[in-house]
Structure 1
Amino acid sequence: MIKFKKSTPNKDARRVLVIDDEPAFTRMVKLNLEGTGDYIVESLNESRKAFEVAKAFKPNIVLLDVVMPEADGGDVAQSLRSRSLTQNIPIIFVSAMVSQEESKKGFYQSGGEHFLAKPVDKDTLCGAIETVLLTLK
């Protein structure tokens, strides 16, 4: 049996909400990010519940899948941005529809939006989160 090291979040841990319809992806992201001790992660596999979960969890950033069956990433982003409680939370879109080459080694910005290509490794993911959060300070 593989045991994952559970890190205790540091006092400055950032809160990350991961919204993706693939439970295996959200579980992998949660394990990888929380394993660093720098993040507290809430995952959601039902995109229609995004606002309620974001309102309760109060994330510093959202990782959002683009293609989902209930409401796609564009719909979810529009919903979050149209409400005063969640409008300023930065969003990084994560998609298998974007190739690694297109996304310039995993992370890029287009039309004011940030994108990551799936599959994404832990270093690229952490780097993208920190880059976006630093640009907001």
Structure 2
Amino acid sequence: MTRYAGFKLLIVDDHAHNLFTLRTLIESEMDVEVLEATSGQDAIDLTHRHPDIDLIILDVQMPEMDGFETASMLKLRKRTRDIPIIFLTAAFKSEEFQQRGFAVGAVDYLLKPIDDNLLINKISTYFRLIEKERELNRTLEQTVAQRTAELAEARQYLENIITHMGEALLVLDPGGTIKHTNPAAWKMLGYCADNLRGMSIGDVFEEEGDAEAGAFMGTWLEALIRTGALSRIEARFIARDGRRVPILFSRTAVKDPEGRISDIICIAKDMTGYVRVAENENARALPTGGSTTTR
């Protein structure tokens, strides 16, 4: 038989002879630590001093505070409410007794005189259940720890990409307030992260042409809400010192499971040093200093 070393068992009985008999039997079969209490109040006090008790064997017929009252008190406390309790009784054998015992939190009961083998088997059963539960908890904790580490690694990987990307990144709420930016945006606009957070996109964004100025949160956003489509336009950022920074700008909406826009992701490429060259009625950008040949 497994010896169950490391488990702690509390036996409660107002007769010293019964306690001695129980201890002798249990310690002959198991390497568990056995604690003794001679009353219900003594049992409650012991659970305060030993919060790691695994199982309680509790006599029902005790003066002052009987087993039912003791079990009820133990179940009131968060620290002891989940400790399995096996009732021992010589007087009550009816179904009514069993129901009352289970109602106050007992998981099992045994009749006196005690069958030694039955008692040891009962104790072993609950220790095996406790072992299995603890193993499941350890496995769950390991799985959670592993998953947490994986998520942290993935988050760090994405943060590194965002931090080192050359394009400016701005994440807006549906109303156009800036929630998050990356270092490229700080450098392009001349602001620090704390300054940008909470600003309106209209404070730093200017579309080409007077007719389109300020349209970021107007007609375009309405279309974005309807379609969720990606839009690329030529526009300008307004830097902190008033400079207009030409950009190629893309913006797209992120929607929640209900289809509502939760975020607007904006990515801007600095087009300083590039000029537009018309070719076949399409606009394209070439670096300043580039040349074209026509026939």
Normalising by the smaller structure, the TM-score range is 0.7 to 0.9
**Unpaired segments ≥5 residues, structure 2:** 134-295
**Between the two proteins, what is the percent identity of the paired residues?**
27
What's the secondary structure of 1:116's corresponding residue?
strand
Cα distance in 2, alignment partners of residues 78 and 38 from structure 1: 29
Which structure carries more helix by proportion?
Answer: 2
Amino acid at match of 1:126: I
Q: Residues of 2 paired with 1:134 and 1:97: CA distance?
A: 29
Report Cα offsets for 1:70-102 as digits up to 9, x if no partner.
201010001111001111100000000245xx7
TM-score by length of 2: 0.38
Residue matched to 1:130: 124
Match of 2:14 among 12, 21, 24: 21
CA positional deviation for 1:40: 1.4
Once superposed, what is the RMSD of the aligned Cα atoms?
2.1
Separation of aligned partners in 2, 1:133 and 1:116: 17
Aligned residues: 120
Contact 2:55-2:84 within 8 A present in 1 as well: yes
Residue 86 in structure 1 maps to residue 80 in structure 2: yes
Counterparts of 1:46 and 1:89, CA distance in 2:
18
The alignment status of 1:36 with 2:29, answered yes or no, reads yes
Return the offset for 1:56.
1.7
Mapped pair 1:121 → 2:115 = yes
Give the distance between the partners of 2:12 and 2:59, measured in 1 at CA. 6
Query: Following the alignment from structure 1 to structure 2, what is the Cα–Cα distance between the partners of residues 89 and 11?
Result: 17
* In the alignment, structure 1 residue 77 sits paired with structure 2 residue 68: no
* CA distance in 2 between partners of 1:13 and 1:35 (Å): 15
Structure 1 segment 95-110 matched on structure 2, within 5 A: 95-98=89-92, 110=98
* Separation in structure 1 between the aligned mates of residue 125 and residue 65 of structure 2, nearest angstrom: 27
The 3-state SS of whatever aligns with 1:92 is strand
Higher relative contact order (CA 8 A, sep 6+): 1
- In 1: Cα distance, 2:113 partner to 2:7 partner: 22
